[in-house]
Structure 1
């Protein structure tokens, strides 16, 4: 017999696109098995010829010829899982390089943004790494909107009020995301370069590390429930922090205490960033922005050492890859995004 199986084609997507993929399952109803039977031949008696024996001989019925009907079961085969988002993405841009590698999740939830020559000014740029959780909506939204919202606030305010401008840029982005009715959240770390100043901000556990003549210095502090001031803030607002399987979490759920989104925990997970401003000096050779997938396995100084080696050889993209692979070799299963920015381009 023959068996017809309908398998839907797999969806195709592009990485770092605003649109998420929707699986479409096709199914067909089963058709009944149809057996076509020819009429059964019965013995015939002649009315003119008498039987040759007092007993009638029973004739064997003709052999039944049962054709095998086509079995169009229409089996609803579960379509193959849609292909995961690209295992990695790499970009070698003007003055920066970025490499992102998907972990064990089906979709990469990390995103990045990079804008150079802002407003036609070669010494002005904006960079960001966004580590999504609970889906890609929040990280995508932040990657596409945070830069504009921050710059709008910077233009509106006096240059001396740059920290307040960045703060309101983050808060406005968070408010806009929540108004969209979307779910999920995202940690953020950004670097605004303007008028020779480096303005680094973070909300969550993405981190920025600068190299000062080869010496690593963290410019951000991770926002986690285990941080004493963060735990106090959460508990003051009526929330609780506890340890679940060795990880500090808010309400037994989220392991970060700041970020964009997270509407169900918004009372405790705030989007207000912490910001540091410093003048870019000749000894500041590079800046590393990365998601926690790197920092959980690689120290700040290790990251700077590898990044400087790549920078000296004019291979910063290769350095990004080496940092990611080092974290993976040490057991990281998270999405990992690493960006190296050449600060000497902005001195």
Structure 2
């Protein structure tokens, strides 16, 4: 286990500086932006892109194709990259195992896979507690989607978001948010927390103009963050700023995803899966309209550039100047952003899937060494 842990905490990798069409190519103008312009999946095509802002990239993502359909995951880490990398390593395999055991896809398949991934990371944190206690304060948002038999299954923890793009002659383009977010900035989330923690008036605190769970973190559900789930991890040797002033009586964060099933129609053209860094700067409708207004190839990169242009505008600077800012310092202007745009082919959606034998067939993506993402 410790050999695997050591590999997880190696410092971050700068993308290879290549300026040509191909796999995992870095943008010529922005060395922290890279991705794949277009690739096939079981039910259509997809485009992905990533821009790094933190000193260590904490986002991970994957696209997997198999006889069951297509799986998409976006994992936005915080406090470190270990939780998102653990999800990237294990969640999809747990989904496959559960599909096989249950004989098909369901929300229960996804929810069980989330629990198994949470348990896997808990075991890592527990075994490393004495040598790396700070892992207890590492967590990750987790957005997963499975397209199977003309249905889209969505499960989410945290504040990444999935948006379905549709079009009809009568209404034009429509942006439909199909995932539920768990962030203390949302009034309904705060109300839910107060209802479940009536004896704790400090369950959410407005700190520096931002609502935070226990004054520490904005997201309210995650994989990891065991310092807010288990009392044994909210004490020394965890550093003081993560320790609560009173003993943790019960978990204040959860790892239960909200899951929904969407019946796809011929008007449903694509799904945008993205970490919250994109949605901080673009609305659902703006993002969907950008996808409809531009070619498929490179569309994920185009979305990120639109978000970065907005980030630069908010800071009253030129986008060309923002592109020159180094990772680490760049975090003061925007977050790590991961975007996967999954196009849906109606003809392929209507073909029967074979969920009894969900063998994964990969389309390789050449990501920078150390940040490899499955596809």
TM-score under structure 2 length normalisation: 0.65
1:83/1:148 CA distance change after superposition, 3 Å: closer
What aligned pairs does 1:293-312 form with structure 2 within 5 A after superposition? 293-310=277-294
Quote the residue 1:139 is aligned against: 84
Between the aligned partners of 1:268 and 1:146, the Cα distance in structure 2 is 23
> Quick one: distance in 1 between partners of 2:57 and 2:158?
18
Deviation at 1:85, TM superposition (A): 6.0
- Cα distance, 1:309 vs. partner? 2.6
- SS class of match (1:327): helix
Deviations 1:34-89 (A, max 9, x none): xxxxxxxxxxxxxxxxxxxxxxxxxxxxxxxxxxxxxxxxxxxxxxxx87567233
Matched, 1:291 2:291: no
1:314 correspondence with 2:296 = yes
- Following TM superposition, where does structure 1 have runs of at least 4 consecutive aligned residues deviating by more than 4 angstroms? 82-86
Match of 2:204 in 1: 241
**Of 13, 35, 46, which aligns to 1:96?**
46
Displacement of 1:151 in angstroms is 2.7
Which residue does 1:259 correspond to in 2?
222
Q: CA RMSD in A?
A: 2.2
- 1:1-347, aligned counterparts within 5 Å? 19-21=8-10, 84=14, 87-91=32-36, 92-94=38-40, 95-103=45-53, 105-116=54-65, 118=66, 121=67, 124-157=69-102, 159=104, 162-181=106-125, 182-183=135-136, 184-213=138-167, 214-235=173-194, 236-237=196-197, 238=200, 240-266=203-229, 267-310=251-294, 313-315=295-297, 318-331=298-311, 332-344=333-345, 345-347=348-350
Larger Rg over CA atoms: 1
User: What secondary structure is seen at the aligned counterpart in 2 of 1:230?
Assistant: helix
In structure 1, runs of 5+ residues without a counterpart are: 1-16, 23-81
CA shift in 2, pair 1:246/1:84, >3 Å:
farther
Instruction: Name the SS of the counterpart of 2:106 in structure 1.
Output: helix
CA distances 1:239-289 after superposition (whole Å, capped 9, x unpaired): 610111121101111110111111111212211111111222211100000
How far apart in 2 are the matches of 1:314 and 1:255? Answer: 34
Sort the Cα spacing of 1:158 and 1:84 in 2 relative to 1 into closer, same or farther, 3 A.
closer
Distance of aligned partners of 1:154 and 1:101 in 2 relative to their CA distance in 1, 3 Å threshold: same
Q: Contact (CA 8 Å) 1:85, 1:106: kept in 2 or not?
A: no
CA shift, 1:232, in A, is 4.2
Can you list the C-alpha shifts for 1:68-113, whole angstroms capped at 9, x where unaligned? xxxxxxxxxxxxxx8756723302321211100012x211111101
Deviation at 1:306, TM superposition (A): 0.9
Secondary structure of the structure 2 residue equivalent to 1:314: coil
Q: 3-state DSSP class of the match of 1:330?
A: helix
User: Residues of 1 paired with 2:265 and 2:275: CA distance?
Assistant: 25
After superposition, the C-alpha distances for 1:187-217 in whole angstroms (9 at most, x for unaligned) are 1111111222110111000000001212100
- Given that 2:281 and 2:307 are in contact with CA atoms closer than 8 Å, whether structure 1 keeps it comes out as yes
User: Does the 8 Å contact 2:8/2:81 carry over to 1?
Assistant: no
C-alpha contact 2:47 2:299 (8 A) present in aligned 1: no
Q: CA deviation at 1:319?
A: 1.8
Distance (Å, rounded) in 1 between the aligned partners of 2:98 and 2:188: 28
- Other structure's SS at 2:293 match: helix
**Is the 1:84–1:107 Cα contact (8 Å) retained in structure 2?**
no
Q: Answer yes or no: is the 8 Å Cα contact 2:63–2:72 preserved in 1.
A: yes
- Measure the CA separation in 1 of the matches of 2:342 and 2:106: 21
Secondary structure at 1:150 match in 2? helix
